[in-house]
Structure 1
């Protein structure tokens, strides 16, 4: 079955971008809102920083474990419908979880939030690949990723000041209300899919799904790309997980409200994600990706400084580099597997959230044992590993564009 994809500037193209922007806001504000109040959670329930960070890790683990099931569901019922169901379920869970009576119940609720939220990052890039003209998809992906940065920013800067004035539970609940409004906007705006993966063939069976999944795992160029989200997301989440603990402790002794303002560095990621499509068109994907990784690693190392302005600059640089690199690789993956775009995007998301869960938690052990300098050096090493893989992937035949 042939069909015409939406071109940049058309009304459906704009509706898709706005809808996915709201989906990114809803998903990432809800997923990471506890990150801005981790010190308050740790103090309230009497746990260590690494244990408090489990409120993030279990949610991203839920996302990681749900990506393949969501990819299969999307093949059965359609990508837009699957995303609509997911954001509605996540909105409901989001207003219930802050009322969890114990830390253990909170972790269980956060896990299921992650399961629901897993649909958007799993399906969004494959949906764009299906619906948008190929030459315009990097820019469209950049707008979606920009929405995720706004979501990450809102989740943190709203929860922090509210937690200072009331409690962390009220702060997280208010973020959930914002996410529910964004979810409604997504459901209203997302247009009917022009390409329905169910049409023109029998409903996808588990056997067919598994065959396409294996196809997406057998290509060396894709394996190189899958490594990036694990390393980069692990480093990025760990940076934001533990920098608050450093800055709220002596000698800085900043308040939760002041620390939450640092999350405005996410705007650097909003800008870089929206610009990176033009950079890749001009300089090529590999060159642009390496520049983004260098920016991220350099920014992380700047946070070792004892000066708050330098730390802020480092966080902004690391954020800009991360989101630009994420936009490049996330859009690259489905283009390398046109016959298994949904499955390849699902594997990308699986790697992304496994990195968040595993490395985001493990870095807390380094922080507790050796302090911030060792943590920053470890995170920069993760980014350096991704750069090495990017260079080696050229020898494996990864295309430049």
Structure 2
């Protein structure tokens, strides 16, 4: 019997896998970030400051960060696809409930629970992908998956913003949840069964393999893995903070943009839809390190442009920043499971997303305090500093060794 080496581009199951994960990305990220488009409306309706309204995003990303490692253990027991399916269905139900929450405390609690359920997809998707796609094509496939997550994040914001402006933020969030319900159904129908991993196979042979703690430690003792996790922590923290507070910045003088126009700026997410698969393809051709470093540099250039108080320049800066961020994320997230030992791939991916969403939760709130107290330019200076730290860490640890003479 020939061992399964992974699906190749052009095959039916390869296409189904990418399309299925594309819809999983929509089902996850549309509802995760939908409130971001209506944060000023939530703040006004509930009578809370910007940083408190932003907790509706941070609460869900905190729940997701807390859940990714447990979900990786669940996926090792029941299988990759069943774990992701349970997560997206449960999250969609909780998202609908959150849209009718009577007060901010209940809203935050439900958003946290929703994030816990949503943790199944990012915790497992890249491990599933690395097991089901031929090793030569994992970087490119990971880029395609990340592109799907950008469409999810964009669609949730673009739907919630205009609907929320017309009939209130609750209906805006609920409309995104309805989109996620349809995407979850398509994911469950399309995604192919796992062939590179079979739940329970090692137990049937009497070999339980390394414990969950041992699999986590395999990754945590590796400097390269720690730096990849730092990429997610710093860059995602910067990215979410920019999208959280840019609306407040542009709604104030000298821009004074309406909420609907501010919502349209989320179309900058399309830059990530383009840059993610492109970064994956370039990583296959030129190596992951050089593409990661270049992507971080692009993101930093975008931050500098957003400091110019001219609307077209701010918009260009947002597009450049978004493209750079998603390029770096596509490379780092796809690199993480490949660089891990096979038995610890799910945990490697989960630890990356623990850092990724931990950064979103921490900096999504903390940089709001800085924005409120010190203003937009100081806020951007901190964001730029986070990009530069991530760049320095990558150069120090991830740079390929030069061949000896």
Aligned counterpart, 2:275: 272
Instruction: Compute the TM-score of the two structures, normalised by the length of structure 2.
Output: 0.96
Aligned counterpart, 2:223: 220
Q: Does 1:305 align with 2:308?
A: yes
**Equivalent pair of 1:220/1:396 in contact (CA under 8 Å):** no
SS of 2:211's partner is helix
330, 354, 376: which one aligns with 1:350? 354
390, 397, 403: which one aligns with 1:393? 397
357, 366, 384: which one aligns with 1:362? 366
Kindly report which structure 2 residues correspond to 1:49-88, keeping only aligned pairs within 5 A, or say none.
Answer: 49-88=50-89
**Equivalent pair of 1:227/1:386 in contact (CA under 8 Å):** yes
Deviation, 1:397, is 6.0
SS of 1:43's partner is helix
Structure 1 residues 396 and 144: alpha-carbon distance in aligned structure 2, compared to 1, 3 A threshold: closer
**Equivalent pair of 1:229/1:352 in contact (CA under 8 Å):** yes
SS of 1:221's partner is helix
333, 336, 345: which one aligns with 2:336? 333
Q: In 1, Cα distance between the equivalents of 2:210 and 2:128?
A: 22
235, 255, 261: which one aligns with 2:238? 235
Deviation, 1:2, is 3.7
Q: In 2, Cα distance between the equivalents of 1:385 and 1:46?
A: 36
The count of corresponding residues between Structure 1 and Structure 2 is 399
Kindly report which structure 2 residues correspond to 1:150-189, keeping only aligned pairs within 5 A, or say none.
Answer: 150-189=151-190
Q: Does 1:383 align with 2:387?
A: yes
Q: In 2, Cα distance between the equivalents of 1:137 and 1:207?
A: 25
**Equivalent pair of 1:22/1:182 in contact (CA under 8 Å):** yes
SS of 1:30's partner is helix
Kindly report which structure 2 residues correspond to 1:135-154, keeping only aligned pairs within 5 A, or say none.
Answer: 135-154=136-155
**Equivalent pair of 1:234/1:359 in contact (CA under 8 Å):** yes
Structure 1 residues 248 and 188: alpha-carbon distance in aligned structure 2, compared to 1, 3 A threshold: same
**Equivalent pair of 2:336/2:349 in contact (CA under 8 Å):** yes
Deviation, 1:393, is 0.7
Q: Does 1:284 align with 2:287?
A: yes
Q: In 2, Cα distance between the equivalents of 1:41 and 1:164?
A: 11
Structure 1 residues 285 and 395: alpha-carbon distance in aligned structure 2, compared to 1, 3 A threshold: closer
Aligned counterpart, 2:42: 41
Aligned counterpart, 1:315: 318
Deviation, 1:287, is 1.3
Aligned counterpart, 2:130: 129
Q: In 2, Cα distance between the equivalents of 1:131 and 1:120?
A: 15
SS of 2:172's partner is helix
Q: In 1, Cα distance between the equivalents of 2:398 and 2:297?
A: 18
**Equivalent pair of 1:221/1:397 in contact (CA under 8 Å):** no
Q: In 1, Cα distance between the equivalents of 2:78 and 2:353?
A: 20
**Equivalent pair of 2:78/2:200 in contact (CA under 8 Å):** no
Q: In 2, Cα distance between the equivalents of 1:273 and 1:87?
A: 23
Q: Which stretch shows the higher mean deviation, 226-235 or 191-200?
A: 191-200
Deviation, 1:200, is 3.4
CA deviations 1:102-129 (Å, max 9, x no partner) are: 1100000000110010010110000001
Deviation, 1:140, is 0.9
CA deviations 1:266-319 (Å, max 9, x no partner) are: 000000002112211333211111110011011112111111111110110010
Aligned counterpart, 2:31: 30
SS of 2:201's partner is coil
Aligned counterpart, 2:117: 116
Unmatched runs of 5 consecutive residues or more in structure 2: none
